[in-house]
Structure 1
Amino acid sequence: MKKIGFLSFGHWSGQQGSVTRSAEDVLLQSIELAEAAEELGADGAWFRVHHFARQLSSPFPLLAAIGARTKRIEIGTGVIDMRYENPFYMAEDAGAADLISGGRLQLGISRGSPEQVIDGWRHFGYAPKEGETDQDMARDHALKFLELMEGKGFAKPNPRPMFPNPPGLLRLEPFSEGLRQRIWWGAASDATAVWAGTLGMHLQSSTLKLDESGEPLHVQQAKQLRKYREAFAAAGHSHAPRTSVSRSIFPLMDDRDRMYFGDGRPEQDQIGQIDNFRAVFGRSYVGEPDRLVEMLKQDEAIAEADTLLLTVPNTLGVEYNAHLLESVLKHVAPALGWR
Structure 2
Amino acid sequence: MPRPGQPLRGLGFLTIGLFDPADPAAGHEQTLRIIERAEDLGFDSVWLRNRHLQYGISSPLTVLAAATQRTSRIRLGTAVIPLGLENPFRLAEDLATVDLLSGGRLHPGVSVGTPMRYDDIRTALYPDTSDLEDFSKQRVLRLLRNLRGEPVSDFEGTVGIEDFSRVIQPQSPGLADRLWYGGFLDSAIWAGEQGLNYLTSSVVTTQNTTSTDFATIQAKHIDAYRSHHPDPTRARVSQGLVVIPTDSASPEQIRRYTDYAKSRLARTTSPQGPRELVFSPDLVGPSDELAERLYAHAGFRGADDIAVALPFTFAPEDYDQIIGDLAERLGPALGWRPGTDDS
State if a TM-score over 0.5 links the two structures.
Answer: yes
Flag the 1:245–1:112 CA change in 2: closer, same or farther, 3 A.
Answer: farther
**Residue ranges of structure 2 left out of the alignment (5+ in a row):** 1-7, 338-343
CA offsets per residue over residues 311-336 of structure 1, 9 Å max, x none? 11354344431221121222222222
Flag the 1:284–1:161 CA change in 2: closer, same or farther, 3 A.
Answer: same
Q: Could you tell me how far apart the structure 2 residues matched to 1:229 and 1:128 are? A: 36
Letter in 2 for 1:307: D
Q: Is 1:330 the counterpart of 2:325 in the alignment?
A: no
How much does 1:118 deviate? 2.7
Q: Could you tell me how far apart the structure 2 residues matched to 1:110 and 1:326 are? A: 30
Flag the 1:79–1:270 CA change in 2: closer, same or farther, 3 A.
Answer: farther
Q: Could you tell me how far apart the structure 2 residues matched to 1:30 and 1:106 are? A: 18
Letter in 2 for 1:269: T
Q: Could you tell me how far apart the structure 2 residues matched to 1:148 and 1:240 are? A: 22
Flag the 1:174–1:290 CA change in 2: closer, same or farther, 3 A.
Answer: same
Aligned-residue sequence identity (percent) comes to 29
Q: Could you tell me how far apart the structure 2 residues matched to 1:23 and 1:71 are? A: 26
Flag the 1:300–1:121 CA change in 2: closer, same or farther, 3 A.
Answer: farther
The answer to whether the 8 A contact 2:51-2:57 is kept is yes
Indicate the residue corresponding to 1:11 in structure 2. Answer: 18
How much does 1:300 deviate? 1.3
Indicate the residue corresponding to 1:85 in structure 2. Answer: 86
Q: Secondary structure at the match of 1:53?
A: coil
The answer to whether the 8 A contact 1:157-1:165 is kept is no
CA offsets per residue over residues 128-185 of structure 1, 9 Å max, x none? 53xxxx7x5242222211111111234133665144648xx61111111110001111
Q: Secondary structure at the match of 2:137?
A: helix
Indicate the residue corresponding to 1:50 in structure 2. Answer: 51
**Residue ranges of structure 1 left out of the alignment (5+ in a row):** 15-20
How much does 1:196 deviate? 1.1
The answer to whether the 8 A contact 1:80-1:112 is kept is no
How much does 1:249 deviate? 1.0
Q: Could you tell me how far apart the structure 1 residues matched to 2:65 and 2:122 are? A: 24
Q: Secondary structure at the match of 1:50?
A: coil
Q: Could you tell me how far apart the structure 2 residues matched to 1:303 and 1:92 are? A: 36
CA offsets per residue over residues 51-78 of structure 1, 9 Å max, x none? 1212211122111111111011110111
Q: Could you tell me how far apart the structure 2 residues matched to 1:121 and 1:67 are? A: 33
Q: Could you tell me how far apart the structure 2 residues matched to 1:323 and 1:179 are? A: 33
CA offsets per residue over residues 51-109 of structure 1, 9 Å max, x none? 12122111221111111110111101110111111111101111101001110001000
Flag the 1:32–1:112 CA change in 2: closer, same or farther, 3 A.
Answer: farther
Indicate the residue corresponding to 2:192 in structure 1. Answer: 197
Q: Could you tell me how far apart the structure 1 residues matched to 2:178 and 2:296 are? A: 29
The answer to whether the 8 A contact 1:216-1:269 is kept is no
Indicate the residue corresponding to 1:26 in structure 2. Answer: 27
Q: Secondary structure at the match of 1:174?
A: coil
Q: Secondary structure at the match of 2:241?
A: strand
Q: Is 1:142 the counterpart of 2:145 in the alignment?
A: no
Flag the 1:8–1:298 CA change in 2: closer, same or farther, 3 A.
Answer: same
Letter in 2 for 1:10: G
Q: Is 1:283 the counterpart of 2:270 in the alignment?
A: no
RMSD (Å), alpha carbons: 2.5
Q: Is 1:177 the counterpart of 2:173 in the alignment?
A: yes
Q: Is 1:230 the counterpart of 2:231 in the alignment?
A: no
Q: Higher mean Cα deviation, 326-335 or 242-251?
A: 326-335
Q: Secondary structure at the match of 2:53?
A: coil
Flag the 1:217–1:163 CA change in 2: closer, same or farther, 3 A.
Answer: farther
Q: Could you tell me how far apart the structure 2 residues matched to 1:121 and 1:184 are? A: 26
Indicate the residue corresponding to 1:156 in structure 2. Answer: 154
Q: Could you tell me how far apart the structure 1 residues matched to 2:325 and 2:158 are? A: 61
Flag the 1:137–1:314 CA change in 2: closer, same or farther, 3 A.
Answer: closer
How much does 1:116 deviate? 4.8
Q: Could you tell me how far apart the structure 1 residues matched to 2:223 and 2:159 are? A: 50
Q: Higher mean Cα deviation, 150-159 or 78-87?
A: 150-159
Q: Secondary structure at the match of 1:45?
A: strand
Q: Could you tell me how far apart the structure 2 residues matched to 1:149 and 1:119 are? A: 31
Letter in 1 for 2:130: A
The answer to whether the 8 A contact 1:49-1:55 is kept is yes
How much does 1:119 deviate? 5.1
Count how many residue pairs are aligned between Structure 1 and Structure 2: 321
User: Which residue of 243, 249, 253 corresponds with 1:249?
Assistant: 243
TM-score, normalising length: structure 2: 0.85
